[in-house]
């Protein structure tokens, strides 16, 4: 099984103003003369972390990572103004111009896979290849599966679901996303933080194949919980700012682009059916369904992703 590459530090960082309001934090790592790749983090709102640099051979890749609007070290923190999928697609192009590359590999997992597809469909001429993990196509049934009372995830992670559900009074549970949104966007700071932590503990603790219902989640740190919960609820209640079935409808634009799809067989946040639906629209893509959950850190996911990036590096170096 392949493992992550060794830890590395950025050779350059940037703060890029993409509007009068938003400034993005950007890192460049690896080899400045290598194959360009942009890493798109999940959430929305999760931000980047040092391990995300490690899916790529640092001798062969020019690795670009950034915190999306409102996330991580980008400012303003957890801000929702002018924060839509179209804005993020435009930001990716602005970053490409900043780092002076003509075309690049686009790598994204979970919400990052959604954004990667949206970007590549808007700019196929700029996309050297796609590496997509934990596919999320932003359809209503996918949103309802994990977060709403008629979804299926509650039957698999019932302990975490109960804590997520019980934060909301029974009278408001017909639309859990809106109920959480009212608290996440309210005036009371303590309520906002409590709602963010309830939301983030449910999602962040549901990612791995080996599940401990009482273990801390990936997003329990309060700062990260707030950006994740606010941005996810904002995007969820607006259908991720995409037209219904937009990503599958326009997938034909990508059939000439080398693409690898990696998905955990036991991914409960983004069920494996979503990856199969995408593969039907992109039959030329390599599809790897592996013994894993949703987490990009599950060993089988790491193995498949590193193999995919190595293969693209072989192709372009």
Pairing of strands 61-66, 23-30: antiparallel
Q: Is 87 a catalytic residue?
A: no
Q: What's the whole-number mean pLDDT along residues 5-20?
A: 98
Q: What is the pLDDT of residue 286?
A: 98
Determine what percent of the chain is predicted with pLDDT higher than 70. 99
210 — pLDDT class (breaks 50, 70, 90): confident
216 — pLDDT class (breaks 50, 70, 90): confident
Q: Catalytic: which of 74, 110, 113, 227?
A: 110
Q: Give all strands of the β-sheet with 127-133 in edge-to-edge order.
A: 12-17, 23-30, 61-66, 35-40, 104-109, 127-133, 259-264, 286-290
Q: What is the pLDDT of residue 215?
A: 77
Q: What is the pLDDT of residue 43?
A: 95
Q: What's the whole-number mean pLDDT along residues 236-253?
A: 97
Pairing of strands 23-30, 12-17: antiparallel
Q: Angle CA(308)–CA(310)–CA(316) in degrees, nearest 5?
A: 105
Q: Is 263 a catalytic residue?
A: no
- With the C-alpha atoms ordered 223, 228, 233, 239, is the resulting torsion angle positive or negative? positive
Q: What span, in angstroms and rounded, lies between the C-alpha atoms of 163 and 3?
A: 34
More confident residue, 221 or 149: 149
Q: What is the pLDDT of residue 221?
A: 81
| Domains defined along the chain, listed by start | 12-139+240-316 (3.40.50.1820), 141-236 (no CATH)
Q: Catalytic: which of 79, 267, 277, 303?
A: 267
**32 neighbors 58 (Cβ within 8 angstroms):** no
Q: What's the whole-number mean pLDDT along residues 251-271?
A: 97
Q: Which residue has the tokens 């690795």?
A: 63
Q: Is the peptide bond before 76 cis (omega within 30 degrees of 0)?
A: yes
Determine what percent of the chain is predicted with pLDDT higher than 90. 93
**Greatest Cα-to-Cα distance within the chain, rounded to the nearest angstrom:** 59
Is residue 220's pLDDT more than 80? no
> Under DSSP, is residue 27 helix (H, G, I), strand (E, B) or coil?
strand
More confident residue, 151 or 214: 151
Q: Is 110 a catalytic residue?
A: yes
Q: What's the whole-number mean pLDDT along residues 187-191?
A: 94
**pLDDT tens, position by position, 84-94:** 999 999 999 99
Is residue 301's pLDDT more than 90? yes
**pLDDT tens, position by position, 61-84:** 999 999 999 999 999 999 999 999
Question: Where are the extended beta strands (E) located within the chain?
Answer: 12-17, 23-30, 35-40, 61-66, 104-109, 127-133, 259-264, 286-290
Q: In this structure, what DSSP letter does residue 4 have?
A: P
205 — pLDDT class (breaks 50, 70, 90): confident
Is residue 159's pLDDT more than 80? yes
214 — pLDDT class (breaks 50, 70, 90): confident
Q: What is the pLDDT of residue 172?
A: 97
**38 neighbors 48 (Cβ within 8 angstroms):** no
The pLDDT mean for the chain works out to 96
More confident residue, 27 or 212: 27
């Amino acid at each position: 099984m392949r493992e992550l590459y060794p830890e590395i530090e950025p050779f350059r960082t940037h703060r890029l103003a993409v509007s009068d309001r938003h400034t993005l934090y950007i890192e460049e790592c690896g080899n400045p003369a290598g194959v360009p790749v942009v890493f798109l983090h999940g959430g929305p709102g999760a931000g980047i972390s040092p391990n995300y640099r490690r899916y790529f051979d640092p001798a062969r890749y020019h690795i670009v990572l950034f915190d999306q609007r409102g996330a991580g070290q980008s400012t303003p923190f957890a801000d929702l103004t002018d924060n839509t999928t179209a804005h993020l697609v435009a930001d990716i192009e602005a970053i490409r111009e900043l780092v002076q590359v003509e075309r690049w590999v686009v790598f994204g997992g979970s919400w990052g896979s959604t954004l990667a597809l949206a970007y590549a469909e808007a700019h196929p001429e700029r996309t050297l290849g796609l590496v997509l993990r934990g596919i999320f196509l932003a359809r209503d049934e996918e949103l309802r599966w994990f977060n709403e009372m008629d979804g299926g995830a509650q039957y698999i992670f019932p302990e975490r679901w109960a804590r997520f559900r019980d934060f909301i009074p029974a009278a408001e549970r017909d639309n859990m996303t809106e109920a959480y949104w009212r608290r996440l966007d309210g005036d009371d700071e303590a309520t906002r933080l409590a709602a963010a932590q309830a939301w983030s503990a449910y999602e962040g603790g549901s990612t791995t194949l080996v599940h401990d219902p009482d273990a801390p989640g990936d997003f329990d740190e309060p700062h990260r919980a707030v950006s994740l919960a606010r941005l996810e609820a904002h995007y969820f209640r607006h259908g991720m700012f995409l037209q219904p079935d937009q990503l599958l409808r326009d997938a034909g634009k990508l059939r000439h682009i080398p693409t690898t799809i990696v998905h955990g067989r036991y991914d409960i946040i983004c069920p494996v059916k979503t990856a199969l639906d995408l593969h039907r629209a992109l039959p030329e893509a390599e599809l790897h369904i592996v013994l894993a959950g949703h987490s990009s850190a599950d060993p089988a996911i790491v193995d498949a992703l590193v193999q995919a990036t190595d293969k693209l590096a072989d192709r372009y170096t």
